[in-house]
Structure 1
Amino acid sequence: MPIAEQLIRIQCPLCGNSTPVEIVQKGQFGLDCCVSICPNDGLVYLNPRWSKERYHYFYQHEYDHYYRSPVTHDPNSETNYASIKKIYQRLDLNHLSLQGESVLDVGAGMGYSLIWLKNNIPSFTRFSAIESSEYCLNHMKQHGGIEIIANDLDKDFESSAFDFIVMRHVLEHFMDPIRALKKIASLMQPDSLLYIAVPDMMHPKGDLQNYWFRTVHTFYFSEHTLLATALRAGLNPIVIGSENSELWGVFKLSSSSVPVEKDNNVMAKQLAVILNYHQ
């Protein structure tokens, strides 16, 4: 039986504010989706939202029904490898080569990114995944050659560091993105690369309430709020980009404390995008 959908309130992880401005109460599929914006730093996030337990159950048993399209079940479909090819292209265009032996995909889904890297990057010999979906876990286990180190990043697990870590459209799902990135940072070495991609809240697409805003997306980042989140986790950006409503960046461990540049207009800019948005 699913866990009760009791909504809980949180504070803004960037500033601790507990009185955000409410935007909508329902999102995609008519599910509870209380989107709010922090008046201090412009971070958009769900408040209130489901409990950690309710989300974990959803990802294990319900997420695939809502979001896993039939094509993902076909290992021969090139569509399944489009995301990792785009990541490789972005790294290559910015003269960032994939080196080392180990790769971790956080929110690995069916494992297609790891499969592509296994077949195309000879230096990689260790392929690891963190994934909640039981269906996807079974698929990766059947494929072979992929190490499942955890089904939840928040759980305790032991692992050596990785040379390359992928977090594609996963950071926006966490209950505490700063804590999540700190955990990722603990799995990195000085030369490790971390790739992050999230929906770009400054360039949304589709109907906001019936498509863009989703119960599973607990946070909605702009470039400013993504950088502020990463810096608080001890990560420095190498490159940041935005393309087709996707905000992405490559990060390394920070060797020193870098102050977050204050921008008092972030909230106004973000709210203007939301209020003036036309599909």
Structure 2
Amino acid sequence: MTTLSVITPPSERKLKNHVSLTQSIANSLTMAYRGVLKIKRTPEQLFDVTLQPIIFTLMFTYIFGGAIAGDVASYLPTIIPGILVQTVITTSVVTGVQLREDMDKGVFDRFKSLPIARIAPLAGALLADTIRYTIATTITFAMGFIMGYRPAGGLGFVIIAGLLVIVCSWAISWIFAFFGVIARTASSVQGISFLILFPLTFLSNAFVPVNTMPEWLQWFVNINPVSHLVTAVRELANNGVWGSDAWLALLGAAVIVAVFAPLTVRAYMRKA
């Protein structure tokens, strides 16, 4: 007896993956929930967003506080927003690394056989990581409060500042998601990502005033998007002001999404 295997024609496969916008959103939320379950079952994934804010806050505050501001208490309004932006943006690298790992393990190949939107696994992964950003944001502000930081802007503007950082970090995660799709290994994604992040975070106004830097370096720091985000967070948390830097940060986030979201989706669709 001969067993005949039925191969689904390409046209039918495309029809199978053609789903409505509502179903695509529902599938993406389901995949985001999968990401949350991964965190629940492997809580060590949260070490970077729980320990890093604490270590960096203590280290930078006590190393630079006296030299830059005269004392630790005076330095906290400067360093806490800087540490917050650095920590949450650095956390967004994990999006691309985990995406590459899932693709290497064949997880996404299994998703192809399911009657779901093809974009859902990618969108779900990006949504799930916003939880990591929220945890990092909360711990950073809490650590600052323990050390004596009292934001003059009040709780409401602190929350707005945190949401601004989360939104901008989510936008930046599209860059690392793109690397996760096109790179060959997870380690290469991490290496490329940190090669980009380190100059952006350290060559900014996150830790020291711009006027203390050489003049040839100040021009880059002043146009650095990270500097605008740090300034926006400081104005919100310390002064309760939504200024031009906040608008520039949102504009930068929108530009990143407009550029990298289509690139990432196109590259992902070729492999999904």
Q: TM-score, normalised by structure 2?
A: 0.30
Larger Rg: 2
With CA pairs under 8 Å and 6+ residues apart, which has the higher RCO, 1 or 2?
Answer: 2
Q: Hey, which of these two has a bigger chunk of strand by percent?
A: 1
Q: TM-score, normalised by structure 1?
A: 0.29
